[in-house]
Structure 1
């Protein structure tokens, strides 16, 4: 049985964040092996089911110890996942972390990412007591740029030729949100 959600969205109760469950194996397998998103996740090769089983076995580790947190985005309590939102690279001294979100290709353009980011921002502020979040977005990823802007992030800079892609080098746009 899936875990209870972390919390529902106040303005859109159809979106929830919850912990990873062993039952999420097939979902994670599909998400992690979607070559179309490897460029934004620094992935170069497929991920095995065995590796994902091992990951799921340890996914509930303490955020402050492993310095990362992945929550599943669902549209109803305990229902089929539509995406994940991650906090990573947690820095305890400066109380900040990177944030990223991935939504299944078939579930994009429904507002799930926007609502999930708003929920994770609130969780980072109230529960984890972070001071700020940051995101790095490929300069060609217009939907993600609009998403971070719409959820209160400010564009703070551009790293030139920061991301290597099959087509060459791509600039990375840096976003920051003070909580």
Structure 2
């Protein structure tokens, strides 16, 4: 799996030269709430992660794509996780660096990954977990006909408050 080509973006595998990008993104406290991170990652740990990112999705049950714009600048990541080939389902998560949001990259990345999951992984459904206050993500996923399937009450504890998390599904 090398790349998925869009009109304005490319979804590609992690490369060793992504270390600084990954280090900056993973250690940005803005994203810790959605990634359930509580401590920073070292470059050493992220380097090992990149080294092992070549694992087949059927083995690792997950895969991370880097979202790059037309200048080959990383603008975000889109993850496939909890891949279950027996039950034909997979989870999806997307992260865009704040300065690259609202430029259509998320729409194009989600469109590419939905096609990839249904066409190449042959899943029956894709799911996403989105906090109820993440209106940008809710709007993005609903644009692609993801439907709310349930609410996990008080699921995320962040900044001394609980947040609900909505389970969204797209069933083929």
Query: Do both share a fold (TM > 0.5)?
Result: yes
Query: Smaller-chain TM-score range?
Result: over 0.9
**1:95 is the counterpart of 2:88:** yes
**1:42 is the counterpart of 2:36:** yes
* Equivalent position of 1:8 in the other structure: 5
CA contact (8 A) 1:124 1:130 kept: yes
TM-score by length of 2: 0.96
**1:66 is the counterpart of 2:63:** no
Shift of 1:6: 2.0
Where structure 1 has 5 or more consecutive residues not aligned to the other structure, the ranges are none
Name which of 46, 66, 81 aligns with 2:74.
Answer: 81
Name which of 13, 20, 23 aligns with 2:17.
Answer: 23
TM-score by length of 1: 0.92
* Cα shift readout 1:48-85 (whole Å, capped 9, x = no counterpart): 100000001010101000100101111127x1110000
* Equivalent position of 1:136 in the other structure: 129
Shift of 1:152: 2.1
Q: Distance in 2 between matches of 1:80 and 1:86?
A: 18
CA contact (8 A) 1:5 1:16 kept: no
Name which of 155, 158, 178 aligns with 2:171.
Answer: 178
Question: How many aligned residue pairs are there?
Answer: 172
Q: Distance in 2 between matches of 1:147 and 1:104?
A: 15
**1:120 is the counterpart of 2:113:** yes
Secondary structure of 1:124's aligned partner:
helix
Secondary structure of 2:117's aligned partner:
helix
* Cα shift readout 1:128-176 (whole Å, capped 9, x = no counterpart): 1111110111111111111110122111121111111113111111100
Structure 1 stretches of at least 4 aligned residues deviating more than 3 Å after TM superposition: none
Shift of 1:5: 5.6
Secondary structure of 2:121's aligned partner:
coil
